[in-house]
Amino acid sequence: MRLILLGPPGAGKGTQAARLVERHGILQLSTGDMLRAAVRDKTPVGLIAQDIMARGDLVPDEVVAQIVADRIAAPDCANGFILDGFPRTVAQAEILKSLLERAGVSLDVVVELVVDESALVGRIEKRARESGAAVRADDTPEALKKRLDVYRAQTAPLSDYYRTTGLLRTVDGMQEMDRVTADVEAVISAAVA
């Protein structure tokens, strides 16, 4: 099973992806996590990404595309994966399309978690509070505003992109977390049936 989780920062993609991993035994590929690891390890990619991420901008498509290309070519991805945080631009979606074509595989479904923007700031502030010492550099009010602006301008168009391909399914991400999980499972089961 290969799927994409779409949704703005704070929509619950990470939480839902973790639950899918547990239930289906597939991998969660989070470009945010990969980039944070690169920053932590001070790799060449990390050095490029650090400031860009801290201010809430997008890391250049070609940098992220390379990380994803390397990752999905690894043997442990053969059974499938959940892409969390990638693609984030239509250009990245086109890159993903050719990567998958080259690998001879296809996406099963794109699940968008739809949430009211007014709820997102509160959710992210809660995440920052609850994560204690491990506060993300980009969970500040300024970076968060930027991340939401970037989402609206560059990532939201992916809904139409994937609607056109027939792969998009939407789930109400404002519901209680277990309800969201149940709806995500339902749209996935229907898509892979």
- Interface with ligand AMP, residue 18, by CB under 6 A: no
DSSP per residue over 136-183, as a string? -TT-SHHHHHHHHHHIIIIITHHHHHHHHHT-EEEEETTS-HHHHHHH
Residue 40 annotated among the catalytic residues of the structure: no
Three-class DSSP category at 9: coil
Question: Cβ closer to ligand AMP: 12 or 56?
Answer: 56
Q: Which of 71, 127, 146, 163 is catalytic?
A: 127
How far is residue 90's CA from residue 70's CA, in Å, rounded to a whole number? 20
Q: Which of 164, 43, 177 is nearest to 113 (CA)?
A: 177
Largest CA distance in the chain: 43
Neighbouring C-beta atoms of residue 166, cutoff 10 Å: 8
Considering 97, 136, 146, 163, which one is annotated as catalytic?
136
Of 3, 5, 29, 59, which lies in the binding site for ligand AMP, with binding defined by CB under 6 A?
59
Nearer to ligand AMP, 52 or 114 (CB): 52
CB of 80 to ligand AMP, least distance (A): 19
- Whether 88 is a known active-site residue: answer yes
- 151 binding ligand AMP? (CB under 6 A): no
Catalytic residue among 13, 19, 36, 169: 13
Task: Report, in Å, the least distance between residue 177 CB and ligand AMP.
Answer: 18
